[in-house]
Every structure is written in C-alpha cells, then in structure tokens.
Amino acid sequence: MENVLITGCSSGFGRAGAMYFAQQGWRVFATIRDTAAAASLAGWAADNNFPLHPVHMDVTSPAGVARAVDEVLAAAGAIDVLINNAGIAIPGMFEDMPWDALQKVMDANFYGPLRVTRAVLPHMRRRGSGRIIMVSSLSALVGLPGMSAYSASKAALELASESLRLEVDRFGIFVSVIEPGAYNTAMPGKISAETAAPAESPYRELLRHLHESSKAGAGQGDDPLGVAELLLQIARTPRPAFRYPAGAQARQVIDMIAGLDAAARDTFIRSVDGTGWWSEGRAAPSNVNGKA
C-alpha cells in the first residue's frame, strides 16, 4: 500500500484529496489543525473502513512539522507522495496591509511547504524515490489587485519548486506544481469575510468593490474532486511534468495570457474583478456583476 501525506485537509482541496486517495486504496496521512475537522474526517474513514489517519500539524511550526513527519514515518515506514496543500489568503492593498499579515501569508504558503518538504526529503532521497506536489494557484501567474501577498507567496513557491525539481531528480524524486483556477471551496468565502481596510485608507472604495466581488463568487466554481483526481494522476505518473493547470478555467487563462502584450494583460487583469473604473478614476459600479 502506498502512503501519501497531505497538508491542510480540513476542507477544500486537502479534504477532497485525502478522501479520494483513501477511496483509491492509498494509506492517507491527512494533516489538520482543527480538532473538529480531524474528528469528522476520522469518523468518515472509520465508517467506510478506509486507511485515512488525521495528523495534527501546523506548517508554520518547525517543531510541529518535524514531530508530525516523524509520527507518519514511524507509523507507515515510508512516504511515497507529499502533497503540500495547506495555505491561507489575506486580502488587502499593498500599502495598507499590516506587515504581520504579509508575513503570515508568506509563512503559511511559502515557508510552510518548504518546512514540510525539507522534513520529508531526506527520507525520500535515501529511498531513491518520491513525488512532491505543491498546490499553487493561477494567482502565481496573475497578480490581481488586493492579492499581492497571496500572489507573491504562490509565485515564490513555484520558482523554489522548479529549482528543487532540478536538484532532486537524480535521486528519483519528482517535483510538480498544480495551478487551480476557480473551484467551489471555502477560500472565496474566507477572503470576502477577511477583507478590511483602515478607515483612512485611500483604497477603501476599491477594497469594498473587491469584497463584494469575492462574495458574489463564493459557492461557484468547479468541484474540488477534479483537483483530487489530478493529484492522483500526477502521483501515479512515472515521470510527471513540472506544471499542471487544474481545471478548464486555468487552462484557458494560461493559454490566453501567454499571447498578450503588456497593455492587453493589464486590461485582462482589470476585467477579472471589474476594476477598470478604479484605474480610470471613475466611481465604483453599483453592481459588481456588471464589472464596469
């Protein structure tokens, strides 16, 4: 039985991936910080007799990461696939964003996956095999207004992963990233709930518009099961590629932006959340669905 360690399994891609891998006969070690989510996932596994084991891990804690990886290796003896999925998004304007919020995003989305990977790598290297999959985002390729910290964290993760891929391939270890587009996960709702700006911010009107746009997008997008299926496909591929778009939207956007010049790219990015009015110095539209 093959073993997979997946981070961030309380909801979204992590939970869908953990359940799907278990259904396909893998022994799954699903890291979760929230005890209620861990109990729910453990109950589902027990009811269905699936080999899924919740593990407490906070990717921002070096000691916690080391302890959790040691726990998994002691129980399983091997980690065949590592999926770095845990991450957060805190929206905000670059000028306004508190420094500690920026650091929090980078710690969870960039340093966190690196911590887990460095804890697992020596084991994979000694075995001479392994798959490491980073869950990135289209935001690594397109910097939307209000998402500078998130985009920076995902772009940094992708470039670090590309370097790592070329460092560890001689040991039989393959590193890949996936870039999901819009999926029906809890992330859009969390983003809309956390959107705030200082009272004196010159960006309040823009952030309010982005807040409404994010709320309108909550509950939409593809089924996260599609990402779970892609993760399993990569895990089973003898020599996986480095970059995988996840979903029809991601493939469409990546193909489109590849052919855009700088001006057209700016126009496209403004069209995503309808922020052309801001750049043109106009008032915000009354209806975010109109995306003026």
Catalytic residues: 150
The two tokens of residue 167 are 């460092």
Q: Phi/psi zone of residue 291: left (φ > 0), alpha (ψ -120 to 50 degrees), beta?
A: left
CB 60 within 8 A of CB 35: no
- Going by C-alpha positions, the residue among 262, 268, 144, 257 that lies closest to residue 209 is 144
How many CA atoms, within 13 angstroms, populate the side-chain half-sphere of residue 92? 19
Cα(150)–Cα(1) distance, integer angstroms: 36
DSSP designation for 86: -
- Going by C-alpha positions, the residue among 30, 35, 37 that lies closest to residue 10 is 37
**Would you call 52 helix, strand, or coil by DSSP?**
strand
Q: Of how many residues is the chain composed?
A: 292
Cα(218)–Cα(263) distance, integer angstroms: 29
